[in-house]
Amino acid sequence: HAISFQLKQDSVVEEIFAGRGVIHFRVSRNLLKVLEQLCQERHKFGVKSELFDGLKKGTTVVEFSSPNIAKKFHAGHLRSTIIGNFIANLKESLGNNVIRVNYLGDWGMQFGLLGAGFQLFGCQEKLKKNPLQHLFDVYVQVNKEAENNEVIGQAAREFFRRLEQQEHQALLLWKQFREITVEEYQQVYKRLGVHFDIYSGESFHQQQAQEVVQQLQRRGLLKTTEKGTGVVDLSSAGDMSSYSTVLRSDGTSLYITRDLAAAIDRKERYNFDEMIYVTDKSQGIHFQQLFQILLAMGHSWAERCQHVPFGLVQGMKTRLGEVVFLEDVLDEARARMLRNMSQSKTTKEMVYPEDTAEKVGISALIVQDFKGPLGSDYKFDWDRILQAQGDTGVFLQYTHARLCSYDEVLYQSVQDLQPKHLVNFLMTLRLRLFSGVCTVLANGMKILGITPVEKM
Ligand code: ARG
């Protein structure tokens, strides 16, 4: 009796009462039902179909990551990669047909510089051994050189002109740069658990961009300025108080012209129901103008195009200094996590600690990034991100891992036939289950602006 009064009832253990030499626990049937359902549905659990019946299930194009060849992969590209992947996963889990597109920065004057630079400082051997590093080095060097050497600038313009005119030799070199870069990226995306259905890019829409300009002209939307550039008036008063430049005076296309062509091409190819672009918020006006021009051209589907902007990240560094490649970030996360794991007493023995360290390190990166509103800027801090306690990815993984270790406990018990392993496990499991639910509730309420009470 004394014991049964000390035990607390709750919504799971609905009733506790003492019998002769025994204590009875009545466990809520509802809970069992939920648990049963959870076991049956497993990964689909929680996605209530009735709730989403109203949502149209269609084809969604999600364009994300989109780094620039030979340039730095910065924190913004990392954010785009994980946020875009989240959106794609979410849409997919709700039954949409999702097309994941990586729109590479693989065209423009920078390839004039890179091509000219490679002819001067490039090395095929280094390119094969460490492509991203070598292309980046060449690009940095040629930029520096071009600052005080007129000839380099000329050579770059000349190389880009050859590219634009589809000259075989120039195109061959460009193609090599692109292919080698995509292969490298695919390896690193794999570490992140991210994949793409399509590696498109600005280069794909060179010709189409010119057609877009002609269409704009035919519709009377194109104006030529005194400087000889082609612009589209976007002001409501028609006074050019806001406009977008779509054609350089030398007749070449711009970033937005290629985006116009790319959007139209995707609509024709995939007939998507919606399209989502994920980039940092500095490109907000670009996408606003893009959608506005598409609408003006009569493409009403532009209403179903959306830009998802996110804030800037400051101070993402590794011990070697500035982050240049995506690989650097992943290596750093793994190395730091591995060190933390080796110093922690609770770390279990495992066959591939690097593999675990990498997965946990990445989840830490993701969780800290997703905690706030996507639009907010934040300061990057490895120590805070990789904390084992608190609302971190490490803790999330820890909880999951401990919940997974049930079999392991049975295995331990069968080794020495001691029941204590199982008892200890069940005790902590129960505690974890409730503290976990409590945390989920409290966090969710706090996000809504509600302060959770502990007694009422
Ligand atoms: N490559 C661009 C950058 O690094 C991002 C591309 C975004 N997508 C687009 N359709 N414009 O800034």
Domains of the chain (ranges plus CATH)? 2-46 (no CATH), 59-314 (3.40.50.620), 405-456 (no CATH)
| Token couple for 34 | 């939920």
DSSP state of 64: -
More confident residue, 100 or 108: 100
More confident residue, 406 or 81: 81
CA pair distance 153, 145, nearest whole angstrom: 9
299 is a catalytic site residue: no
CA pair distance 202, 109, nearest whole angstrom: 12
For residue 259 and ligand 1, the question of a CB distance below 6 A is answered with yes
For residue 277 and ligand 1, the question of a CB distance below 6 A is answered with yes
Residue 287 CA: which ligand 1 atom is closest?
A: 11
Distance 285 CA to ligand 1 centre (A): 13
The residues that bridge with 300 in the sheet, in sequence order, are none
Q: Is residue 356's pLDDT more than 70?
A: yes
User: pLDDT band at 198, cuts 50/70/90?
Assistant: very high
Looking at residue 444, what is its pLDDT? Answer: 42
The share of the chain scoring above pLDDT 90, in percent, equals 56
Q: Report whether 100 contacts 62 (CB < 8 A).
A: yes
CA pair distance 276, 305, nearest whole angstrom: 6
Q: Report whether 221 contacts 245 (CB < 8 A).
A: no
How large is the average pLDDT for residues 61-85? Answer: 94
71 is a catalytic site residue: yes
How far CA 283 is from CA of 27, 290, 314, in Å, comes to 55, 11, 18
Helix (H/G/I), strand (E/B), else coil: 206? helix
Weakest mean pLDDT among 104-113, 174-183, 350-359: 350-359
Looking at residue 447, what is its pLDDT? Answer: 37
How large is the average pLDDT for residues 328-354? Answer: 89
User: pLDDT band at 170, cuts 50/70/90?
Assistant: very high
Distance 325 CA to ligand 1 centre (A): 17
Residue type, 253: S
The residues that bridge with 13 in the sheet, in sequence order, are 27
Looking at residue 265, what is its pLDDT? Answer: 97
Q: pTM for this structure?
A: 0.83
For residue 279 and ligand 1, the question of a CB distance below 6 A is answered with yes
For residue 103 and ligand 1, the question of a CB distance below 6 A is answered with yes
Q: What is the pLDDT of residues 428-451, one digit of tens each?
A: 777 667 666 656 555 544 335 656
How far CA 186 is from CA of 60, 278, 329, in Å, comes to 22, 19, 16
Looking at residue 69, what is its pLDDT? Answer: 94
Residue type, 53: D
| Token couple for 326 | 């995506």
How large is the average pLDDT for residues 252-274? Answer: 96
74 is a catalytic site residue: yes
Angle (CA) 207 299 101, round 5° = 60
Distance 63 CA to ligand 1 centre (A): 9
Q: What is the predicted ipTM? A: 0.99
More confident residue, 33 or 209: 209
Distance 105 CA to ligand 1 centre (A): 7
